[in-house]
Homo-oligomer: A and B are copies of this chain.
């Protein structure tokens, strides 16, 4: 019998060094809202999404390649950029055929960490592409690190819930000796009936932050499975749809 590949969950970028990514697929998870927006833009026909770690780099690259520049700081479109972090800003009629240069803090940093540590493959995960992620992990039969982007290294609820959602689907295909994974799954099982209410009831910090910005619609979309079900995969500095 072949040994099953392993699956681990890193609840914060500050913990990712504990796991061996060198032969693994790393799933970057930034549910509210970076990875939800990335899969949405790609689903709606964006040519690619280029994640960058600073506003200045976003502006510079946007000019160089004539791309759409996007990113927020403290809940507002960052100065010098054109668009924000909401998946609703990227419908098909706007984004199709275009390149999105997106600056995020937590997700992009984690992606670059995984890259530097020699991850075999990097994809992005969010509820809108939950099934695409799970199908890919099961098909690939490679070790998996579910990497939560968290918030300035602090563990957050929505990324943990997404890790749990993946695990509850793929668990039989992996060897899982990882309390973080089992905890994520237990948390998801507790909240799965109504993730929005679960975040509210448990006082998730991003729930409050985004509600204060009037973004209930964004939260609900970002917690709904398979609304933009493609697999963003990182290749040569950009995220494209896995064909």
Closest to A202 in B: B182
B180:A155 contact, CB within 8 angstroms: yes
Residue ID in chain B nearest A19 by CB atoms: B154
| A185 surroundings in chain B (CB, below 8 A) | 202
CA distance A151 to B179 in the complex (A): 10
Query: Which residue of chain B has its CB nearest to the CB of A154?
Result: B18
**Whole-angstrom CA separation of A157 from B185 in the bound complex:** 12
Q: Are B157 and A179 in contact, with the CB atoms below 8 A?
A: yes
Any B CB within 8 A of the CB of A124: no
Contact indicator per residue, chain A 140-155, by CB within 8 Å of chain B (1) or not (0): 0000000000011111
The 8 Å CB contact of A152, one of B14, B18, B182, B191, is B18
A235 an interface residue at 8 Å Cβ cutoff?
no
Tell whether A155 pairs with B190 under 8 Å between CB atoms, given A176-B203, A183-B160, A183-B202: no
A10-32 near B? 1/0 per residue, CB < 8 Å: 01101100100000000000000
**B14 and A14 form a contact (CB under 8 A):** yes
A186→B155 CA distance, assembly (Å): 14
Within the complex, the shortest CB–CB distance from A83 to chain B, in Å, comes to 27
Q: Closest Cβ of chain B: how far from A180's Cβ, in Å?
A: 5
Chain B residues lying within 8 Å of A176, measured Cβ to Cβ, are 203
Which chain B positions have C-beta within 8 A of A169?
Answer: none
A106 → chain B, closest Cβ, in Å? Answer: 13
- A205 in complex: contacting residue of B151, B177, B203, B205, CB < 8 Å: B177
Which residues does chain B contribute within 8 Å of A191, judged by CB atoms? Answer: 186
Q: Which residues of B contact A156 (CB under 8 A)?
A: 179
Q: Which residues of A contact B (CB under 8 A)?
A: 11-12, 14-15, 18, 151-157, 160, 176-180, 182-183, 185-187, 190-191, 202-205
Sample of 26 A–B contacts (CB below 8 Å): A11-B155, A14-B14, A14-B15, A14-B18, A15-B153, A15-B155, A18-B152, A154-B178, A154-B179, A154-B180, A155-B180, A156-B179, A157-B179, A157-B182, A157-B183, A160-B179, A177-B205, A178-B205, A182-B202, A183-B183, A185-B202, A186-B187, A186-B190, A186-B191, A186-B202, A190-B190
